[in-house]
Chains A and B, each alone.
Chain A
Amino acid sequence: MAAAVLCACGSTGAPADSLTGTLNVFAASSLTDAFKGLGSAFERQHPGLSVRFNFAGSPALVAQIEDGAQADVFASADTTNMDRLLTDGLLAYDPSVFAHNKLEIVVASGNPKQITSLADLAKPGVVYISAGPTVPAGKYAAQVLREAGVTVTPKSLETDVKSVVAKIELGEADAGIVYVTDVKAAGSKVTGVTIQDADNVVATYPIAPVKAATQLQAADKFVAYVISSEGQAKLKEYGFLGA
């Protein structure tokens, strides 16, 4: 393990710098896997720094930051939640968009209920769930269904997008609408059903350092790294669309 870390450290060839301590990154649930990957790469470039993540639904993170949680960077799955912090005056400077994402129907592995379209979600006997209406994934899912003219009431409004995927994996629900990246991250445990572009919604992910950051310099560097071509390439590996 140590050897692997040293090896990777050498390969990036980044010069050691003076950044030390812990960088607290608050990021939308859907960024969990991608940001963990980005975080370890960033840590390898800045050996003195450790990146700590707090993943949750975007509105939960906004509420925490408003209540004074120690956050250095905030990455949201929509502009609405980011704008709430911007209007509150809680951001160090204006956010930048660093990724886009599309939605997909997630079903149990092998698609036992044979769901092939949005309309199938309204079939009798299909248990459909989604993220709650305040969570970006839930808002986008409702928007997709509305625009496709499909009327289906979710059986549950989960607190974040990852718990939608979890309930599908557990077999408690048959289908949900989540991000393409969530289906990819879950691997073979679930199956994704593509939503055609005409019906799909493009999610916009903004990022910004938080004004009250104790690690403003590191926060700045992390944001720059996420937007850099290296960061963008990594995000693409996880299925995100570029900025």
Chain B
Amino acid sequence: MRRERAPFAIVLLAAAGAAFFVLPLLGLVVRTPWGDAPRELLSPAALDALRLSLVASVSATALALLLGVPLAWLYARVDFPGRSLLRALTTLPMVLPPVVGGVALLLAFGRRGLIGAWLLSVGISLPFSTAAVVMAETFVAMPFLVLTVEAGLRSMDRRYEDAARTLGAGRWRVFWRVTVPLIAPSLAAGAVLCWARALGEFGATITFAGNFPGVTQTMPLAVYLLLESDQQASYVLSLVLLAISVAVLAGLRHRWLGTA
């Protein structure tokens, strides 16, 4: 890279921009009661939220893989009418306010929702259940997986698939034995990204799934609610989520962070 003398104004604004991100993180690290951290983390309320968050976010990621990979494959490989519209609709949650997603889920799967009313008639009530948490998280996080996997499928070398076909492998076998291994890095990156987004989900969860410890109160909900009653615990849980985010970013650094 060519060395350049930066204009003073740009350096000043860039420094302000950087400080804007670094200061809040610093605040969290400085205000966290490190001595009490282990005790706060091992409190039943925190453990409940941790356990639920892990179960729900891993389930959401599994569901996103199950449904999202086929969707990504269709987007990348099949030219069907309405593809771009459908693609836009299924990636909308990336920019949609999560609380709006929660309201929408309620109107579809709530007890009086489009499908929810029918579900209720066969004895299934989703609101206030862990299943609702998984659905809210999947709704918000799956687009990250779909887009990542679709990009992987588009950029892979399709000659390997052609070769496998020529050698007599069926379509399903080619998909499993050739396509999936080739897009493994995209699959992994998409899954991690999806999981991290699911783990942080708040708005859609509290709207659609409600809030009850151990059932629907995930880490972000606990962080928000503890701020009212037990700030120290709230800071510690925040820090755990921060650490996870840092780990995710570090794990995916080759994908996004160019080596300077």
Q: Give A contacts to B, CB under 8 Å.
A: 57, 59-60, 62-63, 127, 129, 132, 134, 154-159, 167, 170-173
Contact = CB atoms under 8 A, between A and B. Distances in A.
Given A170-B112, A172-B127, A155 B229 contact: no
Given A171-B110, A171-B112, A172-B111, A129 B229 contact: no
A157 B212 contact: yes
23 contacts: A57-B228, A59-B228, A59-B229, A62-B228, A63-B231, A129-B128, A129-B210, A134-B225, A155-B215, A156-B209, A156-B210, A156-B211, A156-B216, A157-B211, A157-B212, A157-B217, A158-B210, A159-B211, A159-B225, A170-B110, A171-B110, A171-B111, A172-B210
Nearest to A58: B228
Nearest to A57: B228
Interface of B: 106, 110-112, 125, 127-128, 206, 209-213, 215-217, 225, 227-229, 231
A172 B128 contact: yes
Contacts of A171: 110-112
A16 B241 CA distance: 53
Nearest to A56: B228
A63 B227 contact: yes
B21 to A, nearest CB: 20
A127 B228 contact: no
A130 to B, nearest CB: 10
A144 B124 CA distance: 30
In the complex, the 10 A-B pairs of residues with the closest C-beta atoms, listed nearest first = A156-B210, A59-B228, A155-B128, A171-B112, A134-B229, A172-B127, A63-B228, A156-B128, A171-B111, A60-B228
B56 to A, nearest CB: 15
B98 to A, nearest CB: 15
A172 B110 contact: yes
Which has the most chain A C-beta neighbours within 10 Å: B106, B228, B229? Answer: B228
Contacts of A63: 227-228, 231
Given A158-B210, A172-B210, 11 more contacts: A59-B228, A63-B228, A127-B125, A155-B128, A157-B211, A170-B110, A170-B112, A172-B110, A172-B127, A173-B127, A173-B128
B212 A172 contact: no
